[in-house]
């Protein structure tokens, strides 16, 4: 490519001649990224699903750096999803850097943001060279968690740290809809509006662009198409495209269900080996997560069925099942994602489900270090007395076995507390539990 062509592409993404759109603020991620940049000299990798907001977080970080007296010329943002880049290889990286230095003449060690860097073959070698020669402070992003950590882990052992970005939490979702909870009274004053938005949060999911769009279904279907073609079929060179698509739809239609590769094999007529391999790909691109059964025996954990959860309930509704018929499963999926966000911040936290030989089940076991600290059951409708008693019996058995004296049942609207032979079970609506988990003022689980 000609120098002028490359510079024109770079200029359209950078703020050298004027400010660009940097999206709405996501303080928790930007603050963490700023802390990582200031607190270490390592390469920072930002991972997460496609369209979760990684690009905007990087661009906001660039704006923040300029507000803290870093010259605009010392910041370079490169988006490798830009179709104007013709050949994606390390030669292009070298060209980009040379053009940047020639046209912008950075006066200090530059901050280089490489977005969707996995599109570049052998990018990690160039990053290692730049890092070891201290030519730049490098932040990279990608939509493939294991790929990034594996490639960097090979070449940059001990030289990189990670930041995971997910679609919007419920608190972020409210902020995107102009609702901010500053004091405890805000929860009561805005309760009706919060609950109305929560229904939309469940139905349409929380990818930032979807939240802001008037054509939510169309955007979600486009996401699904991109994810399938770019992140899965193209990236992993999948030949059995129909099998891959069928498996994705199956998982998105069965979020929260227990399954094994052999049980899916019977249903989809795809070999269990193929299902296992493809499932790994789906986890790599953050489309699904597998939750293991709690057991003190590792072998039993590995042999037991897994629960599958999706990255976004909006995708489940757009590609899989219908919202009105599966609201309970969607609620469970949302709880899992909230717990997963918390786990990302603490390496000590592990998540499981619990099930005994009588098939009594508890949706979530939270383990912190060596101790089980909490049990969570999701039961959308607690009005039926038989359902309520069944959930309480399962929790009581698990609490006794795992030596936990408190647990939570998350519901649509029920709220209260039950005493069960020395055990305490609190009941709380999902929207309120989410706000409490996310640290909103005046909201307690």
Q: Where are the domains of the chain?
A: 3-164, 171-437
Is the CB of residue 428 less than 8 Å from the CB of residue 404?
A: no
Please give the Cα distance from 104 to 109 (Å, whole number): 13
**Which pLDDT score is estimated for 152?**
59
* Rounded distance between C-alpha atoms, residue 405 and residue 401, angstroms: 10
Q: What is the pLDDT of residues 320-330, one digit of tens each?
A: 766 667 899 99
In this prediction, residues 380-397 reach a mean pLDDT of: 91
Taking only the tens place, the pLDDT of each residue in 421-432 is 889 999 999 999
Residue 149 has a pLDDT of: 58
Asked if residues 321 and 253 have their Cβ atoms less than 8 Å apart, the reply is yes
What stretches of 277-434 adopt beta strand conformation (E)? 288-291, 306-310, 349-355, 361-368, 371-378, 406-411, 416-420, 423-429
Q: What is the pLDDT of residue 441?
A: 47
Q: Per the structure block, which two tokens stand in for 201?
A: 């949060």
User: Among 165-169, 269-273, 372-376, 436-440, which stretch is predicted with the lowest mean pLDDT?
Assistant: 436-440
Question: Beta strands 406-411 and 423-429: pairing type?
Answer: parallel
Alpha helices, DSSP H, located in 40-184: 54-67, 90-104, 123-132, 145-155, 170-176
pLDDT range class, residue 444, cuts 50, 70, 90: low
**SS3 state at 133:** coil
8 A C-beta contact, residue 117 and residue 89: no
Is residue 2 within 8 A of residue 186, CB to CB? The reply is no
- What integer pLDDT is reported at residue 151 of this predicted model? 59
Tokens encoding 427: 């009941």
Query: What are the pLDDT digits (tens) for 75-121?
Result: 999 999 999 998 899 999 999 999 999 999 999 999 999 999 888 88
In this predicted structure, the answer to whether residue 395 has a pLDDT above a threshold of 50 is yes
d(CA 321, CA 333): 13
Query: What phi-psi label fits residue 105: left (phi over 0), alpha (psi between -120 and 50 degrees) or beta?
Result: left
Predicted TM-score of the model (pTM): 0.92
Question: CATH homologous superfamily of domain 3-164?
Answer: P-loop containing nucleotide triphosphate hydrolases (3.40.50.300)
- Residue 57: phi and psi, rounded to 5, are -65, -40
For the chain, helix (H) and strand (E) counts, in that order, are 19, 14
pLDDT tens, position by position, 177-206:
999 887 676 788 899 999 999 999 999 999
pLDDT digits (tens, 9 = 90+) for 108-167: 999 999 999 888 888 888 998 999 899 999 999 988 765 555 555 565 555 567 889 999
C-alpha distances (whole Å) from 403 to each of 325, 356, 365, 389, 421 are 36, 15, 12, 20, 13
Average pLDDT over residues 372-395: 92
Question: According to the model, what pLDDT value does residue 230 have?
Answer: 85
Q: Do 220 and 210 contact (CB within 8 A), yes or no? A: yes
Q: Which of 1-5, 238-242, 295-299 has the lowest mean pLDDT?
A: 295-299
Cα(4)–Cα(380) distance, rounded to whole angstroms?
A: 58
Q: Which pLDDT tens digit goes with each residue over 10-56?
A: 999 999 999 998 988 899 999 999 999 998 888 998 999 989 999 99
Range 391-419 average pLDDT? 93
Percent of the chain with pLDDT over 70: 93
pLDDT more than 90, % of the chain? 70
Does pLDDT of 223 surpass 90?
yes
């Amino acid at each position: 490519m000609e120098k002028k062509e490359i510079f024109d592409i770079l200029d359209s993404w950078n703020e050298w001649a004027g400010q660009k759109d940097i999206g709405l603020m996501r303080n928790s991620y930007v603050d963490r990224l700023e802390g990582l940049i200031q607190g270490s000299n390592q390469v920072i990798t930002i991972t997460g699903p496609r369209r979760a907001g990684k690009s905007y977080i990087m661009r906001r970080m660039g704006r923040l750096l300029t507000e803290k007296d870093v010259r605009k010329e010392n910041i370079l943002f490169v988006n490798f999803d830009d179709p104007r880049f013709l050949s994606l290889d390390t030669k292009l990286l070298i060209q980009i850097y040379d053009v940047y230095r020639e046209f912008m003449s950075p006066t200090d060690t530059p901050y280089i943001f490489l977005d969707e860097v996995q599109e570049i073959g052998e990018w990690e070698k160039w990053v290692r060279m730049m890092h070891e020669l201290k030519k730049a402070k490098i932040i990279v992003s990608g939509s493939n968690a294991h790929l990034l950590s594996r490639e960097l882990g090979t070449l940059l052992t001990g030289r990189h740290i990670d930041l995971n970005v997910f679609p919007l939490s419920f608190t972020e979702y409210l902020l995107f809809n102009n609702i901010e909870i500053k004091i405890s009274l805000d929860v009561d004053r805005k309760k009706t509006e919060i609950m109305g938005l929560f229904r939309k949060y469940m139905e349409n999911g929380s990818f930032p662009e979807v939240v802001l769009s008037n054509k939510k279904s169309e955007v979600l279907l486009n996401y699904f198409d991109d994810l399938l073609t770019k992140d899965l079929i193209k990236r992993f060179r999948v030949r059995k495209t129909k099998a891959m698509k069928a498996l994705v739809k199956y998982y998105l239609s069965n979020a929260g269900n227990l399954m094994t590769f052999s049980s899916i094999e019977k249903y989809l007529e795809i070999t269990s080996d193929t299902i296992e391999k493809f499932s790994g790909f789906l986890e790599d691109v953050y489309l699904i997560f597998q939750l293991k059964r709690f057991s003190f025996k590792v072998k039993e954990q590995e042999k037991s069925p897994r629960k599958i959860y999706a990255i976004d309930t909006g995708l489940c509704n757009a590609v899989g099942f219908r919202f009105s018929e599966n609201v309970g499963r969607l609620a469970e999926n949302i709880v899992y994602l909230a717990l997963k966000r918390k786990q990302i911040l603490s390496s000590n936290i592990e998540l499981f489900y619990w099930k005994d030989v009588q098939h009594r089940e508890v949706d979530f076991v939270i383990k912190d270090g060596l101790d089980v600290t909490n049990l969570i059951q999701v039961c959308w409708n607690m009005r039926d007395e038989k359902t309520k008693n069944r959930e309480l019996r399962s929790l009581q058995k698990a609490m006794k076995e795992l030596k936990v004296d408190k647990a939570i049942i998350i519901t649509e609207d029920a709220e209260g507390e039950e005493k069960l032979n020395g055990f305490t079970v609190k009941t709380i609506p999902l929207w309120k539990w989410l706000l409490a988990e996310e640290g909103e003022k005046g909201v307690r689980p």
